[in-house]
Amino acid sequence: VRATQLLQQAEVVVFDDLGAAAAVEQYAPPAAQRVFVGKRGGRPSIRQAEIDAIIVQHATAGRMVVRLKGGCPSVFSRVHSEMAALQAAGVEYEVCPGVSSALAAPLAAGFPLTHPQLSRAFAVTSAHDPASLDWQALAAIDTLVLLMGGSSLALVVEQLQRHGRAAETPVAVVREAALPTQAAWRGTLGSIVSQTAGETLSPCIIIVGHVASLPMPSL
């Protein structure tokens, strides 16, 4: 709600993917300048330093700038780089929290991340660069949420089993969560790779843990 109020006052909107464009279309004034800075997996894209510079440049020119990100700025959004750039330039700013797909995608598929008996903790990470992760630590948490894991599902499944998760551990993959085009698969570490074979999975969220086997809503 606060974010839509700010968007309605924007003179410049700097936005990226994951739903941000739709919000700009719906709420930003027609006269506001639109700057798209989305990064796309596998294609050359704008560098973070350039995005920081664009925001600072418009703000120091005295314009009301709204930097709109899909999801919540707290999660894999590089928001701190932008905050630091604004601070260094002496620009006043406000950061609004958002609805993170890490939490919203499981709900859209019909289950929460915590449960009194099945999940007392969850961990969120990015599977963009699976080799850099501490799989021993991640495998030990009740529920694991992996963002940007569309192309590394097989590797995720292998690493978790190597670090002690049973082949029977429930897994859900949710693609384009909460959109009319949403698709979701439920299976186990042992079954999910063959279940999703041949499917385009990006953008998706992978959830591993017993909550992923909670009864699917019948709607």
For the chain, the distance separating the N- and C-terminal CA atoms, rounded to the nearest angstrom, is 28
- Rounded to the nearest whole angstrom, what is the least distance from the CB of residue 184 to a second copy in the complex? 14
- The smaller minimum CB distance to a second copy, of residues 66 and 214, is found at 214
Q: Using CB under 8 A, which of the segments 8-16, 118-126, 187-195, 196-204 binds a second copy?
A: 118-126
CA distance 68 to 65: 9
Residue from 33, 57, 114, 195 touching a second copy (CB under 8 A): that is 114
Specify whether the CB–CB gap between 189 and 160 falls below 8 A: yes
Query: Of 10, 13, 59, 75, which lies in the binding site for a second copy, with binding defined by CB under 8 A?
Result: 75
Contact status, residue 95 vs residue 87, Cβ threshold 8 Å: no
Instruction: Please give the backbone phi and psi of residue 217, each rounded to the nearest 5 degrees, phi first.
Output: -60, 145
**Least distance from C-beta 53 to a second copy, angstroms?**
18
Question: How far is 177 from 189, CA to CA, in rounded Å?
Answer: 21
User: Does the footprint of a second copy cover residue 89 (CB under 8 A)?
Assistant: no
Under 8 Å between Cβ of 76 and 126: yes
Residue 197 or 219: the one with the smaller Cβ distance to a second copy is: 219
When the beta carbons of 62 and 215 are compared against a second copy, the nearer one is 215
Verify binding: residue 46, a second copy, rule CB under 8 A: no
Convert residues 137-166 into a mask of x (bound to a second copy by CB under 8 A) and - (unbound): xx-xx-------------------------
Residue 198: CB minimum distance to a second copy, A: 29
* Chain CA centroid to CA 13, Å: 20
In the complex with a second copy, the residue whose CB is nearer, 88 or 199, is: 88
Our finding on whether 185 is near a second copy (CB under 8 A) is no
> Of 30, 43, 92, 181, which lies in the binding site for a second copy, with binding defined by CB under 8 A?
92
Q: What's the CA gap between 201 and 154, in Å, rounded?
A: 12
Asked whether 20 and 66 are in contact (CB, 8 A), the reply is: no
Does position 203 interact with a second copy (CB under 8 A)? The reply is no
Q: What is the 8-class DSSP label of residue 215? A: P
